[in-house]
Structure 1
Amino acid sequence: MTGPADARARGAQVERLAADWLMARGLTLEASNQHAKGGELDLVMRDGETLVFVEVRHRADCRHGHPLETITTTKQRRLIRAARFYLQRNRLSCACRFDVLAVTGTPPRLEFDWVAGAFEAF
């Protein structure tokens, strides 16, 4: 039987693997699992001078749709609000981008689908 603790542990493992995957592609990790008003930022990374807020979405398979399909406008608004809070809390003023990293499969066999600039702060 699997419960919420198992799901959290699996999510944390996938986020670590996602961060490693992105770092292998030139990004640097600033922070992870940043709780902010109304939301959580999975990964905060740097791509050169740009601060990148990465939402990691995982599904073991695509039977119920691709993980990218789970980024609704409501989710986008929550991420934008959390990002603004993060910037304010850390007194940052820099170029920012919102990326989504869709992960499918189960470790160690994972597939990554990275959408840089997946949406804009509106």
Structure 2
Amino acid sequence: MKKTGDHYEQLALDYLRRQGLSLVTQHFRKGHWEIDLIMREQDTLVFVEVKYRSQKGYGGAEYALSQAQISRLRRTAQYFLQTQQLKEHQTACRFDLLAVDGQGNEQQISWLKNAF
């Protein structure tokens, strides 16, 4: 499972780099919580959650993020800002979802800016 997740996070990283974002860090952890990618787009920090689903059932990868996960991601992002000595209300940031659906040549990537 970890190997699959790493593959799709690398795919997401490559995709976002092609869109002009630069990597700040990968797999930022606070205890058991993790942010997949932290990127920078100009002056904005972008916290990216990567989701993969082989099929679009139940809405696919775009709908695979629960409210509990969103809450954990927000708290982990706050912790990241604290470790970098950045003020939450003075730092431009957003939360994006990069959703990958399908298999092989049939994969579709959806990049949802300001997803939550």
State TM-score, norm by structure 1. Answer: 0.85
**8 Å contact kept, 1:57–1:100:** yes
Higher normalized helix content (fraction of residues): 2
From 36, 60, 64, the equivalent of 1:66 is 60
Matched, 1:25 2:19: yes
Matched, 1:105 2:91: no
Q: Alpha carbon RMSD of aligned pairs, Å?
A: 1.5
For residues 1-122 of structure 1, the aligned pairs below 5 Å read: 7-37=1-31, 39-93=33-87, 94-107=91-104, 109-119=106-116
Q: Offset at 1:108?
A: 5.8
- Please identify runs of 4+ aligned residues in structure 1 that moved more than 6 A: none
The CA distance in 2 between the partners of 1:72 and 1:97, in whole Å, is 17
Which ranges of structure 2 fall in alignment gaps of 5 or more residues? none
Q: Offset at 1:90?
A: 1.7
State TM-score, norm by structure 2. Answer: 0.89
**8 Å contact kept, 1:32–1:44:** yes
The CA distance in 1 between the partners of 2:57 and 2:115, in whole Å, is 23
Aligned residues: 113
The CA distance in 2 between the partners of 1:53 and 1:82, in whole Å, is 10
Q: Offset at 1:105?
A: 2.1
Q: What's the CA shift string for 1:54-86, capped at 9, x where partnerless? A: 000001111343111122221111000000011
Percent of aligned pairs with the same amino acid: 37
SS in structure 2 at match of 1:41: strand
